[in-house]
Amino acid sequence: MIDASEGQEWTAPGATSPPSVGQVPDAPFTNASAAPAAPIAFPVAAPAAPIAVPAVAPQQAAPTFRSWQPGLIPLRPVSFGEFLSVPFKAIRYNRAVVVGGPLLFVGGAMLLLAASLWLAFTDPSLALQSPTSQFQGIEASTIIVGVVALLAIVLAEALSSAVVAPGIARGALGEKISLGTALKAIGPRTWPLFVLWLVSSFALGIAFVPGLILLGIGVNDSSDGLVGLGVLAMVALGFVVGVPVYIISAVARCVIVLEQKGVFASIRRTMKVIRGRFWWSVLIIGVTATLVGIATGILQQLLSFVASIGILIGFSGEWVGTLVFIVALVLGAVISYVITYAYMGSVYALIYIDARIRHEAFDVDLAQAAEARRG
């Protein structure tokens, strides 16, 4: 054991300390004329070779308590209640992205739809405002605006929930991004998102083909049994195929935007991420979609009542009634779809984050990123 003094060895109390190097013990004097004793040679140790100490890489700062909830959610698996409450928190935290993004796409599509409806109602060839007039055709401008409005609605469906994903992902770290930043994130991903919508729609459409065939044969042969079997097949296959397609496409949108993957790569990645959590995702999306559907349904019923009054006035030839009908219809659609996309887009992003936390320890990566950001 080494004492704290200048390199001296520690000995037990009462023990005689041995002479140190350089000390010579006193020899007894025997004869003054005796020859001097030969000098005592002490062995000198060779200098030790220097010991190379490998350089140690600087360690990353360990996440602190504050790093485990830097933003919208605590960095751990998301609970059922948080799936219901965090979307409202996200709407309050970053309205520009969570609400403004869907409003931009849905609002643009609904304005084109309003223009298309106005041209259709005021087109003299269609004669929609005069019950006594006959159909004489349709103008080219009405067809063009209608097609553009339909494409805008499809793009709004593909992009409105995807634009929410960057806001939720950065909000989990306590960062509030602008709408412009979110649009830059999904801008290069517009085509993959559109193709994903086409693939999912095609898969869902294929599921209805057998039922439609049976239904057509039953109607042609006046067979109630075949008609009922066709309807049953459409419902059954629509559920069996539609539920997985809906879940996978919803999470794949987040993968396309956040991980910059292609369409089929994002589908494979989604199936890997949500493994073992599929039915939990079905439960979460089913409950949240039902709650949102009830809320928006009540609102749409109120505005549909106003629209029905407007259309009755419009059939009498008053343009004011037509305008009231279009405004009420479009306003109800905008409010309902914006609420739906803002809330459900947040849920999709949370399902993606929760799955990665459970399977890939993504919470540790997020906590380290939050700690580095706090710096």
pLDDT (tens digit per residue) in 206-239: 999 988 898 888 888 877 888 889 899 899 998 9
Q: Is residue 27 part of a domain?
A: no
d(CA 117, CA 105): 18
pTM: 0.75
Q: What are the residues facing 9 on neighbouring strands?
A: 2
C-alpha 188: how far from chain center: 17
For 366, the domain range is: 65-187+280-374
Per-residue confidence (pLDDT) for residue 144, from 0 to 100: 86
For the cut 80, the answer to whether the pLDDT of residue 122 exceeds it is no
For residue range 279-326, what is the model confidence (pLDDT) as tens digits? 999 999 999 999 999 988 888 888 777 777 766 665 555 566 667 777
Classify residue 300: in a domain, yes or no: yes
R_g of the chain, CA atoms, integer Å: 38
Alpha-carbon distance of 86 to 96, in angstroms, equals 16
Per-residue pLDDT, 174:
85
Residue 291 in domain: yes
**Per the domain annotation, does 154 fall within a domain?**
yes
Whether residue 73 lies inside any domain: the answer is yes
Asked if 176 and 94 touch (Cβ cutoff 8 Å), the reply is: yes
Does some domain include residue 363? yes
236 found inside a domain? no
Report yes or no: 282 and 247 within 8 Å, Cβ to Cβ. Answer: yes
SS (H, E, C) 65-110: HHHHCCCCCCCCCCCHHHHHHHHHHHHHHCHHHHCHHHHHHHHHHH
Q: How far apart (Å, rounded) are the C-alpha atoms in residues 332 and 340?
A: 12
**CA atoms of 371 and 67, how far apart (whole Å):** 6
Q: How is residue 349 written in tokens? A: 């992003």
The single-letter code of the amino acid at 335 is I
In the chain, the number of structural domains is: 1
On whether residue 82 sits in a domain, the answer given is: yes
Over residues 336-353, the pLDDT tens digits come to: 999 999 999 999 999 999
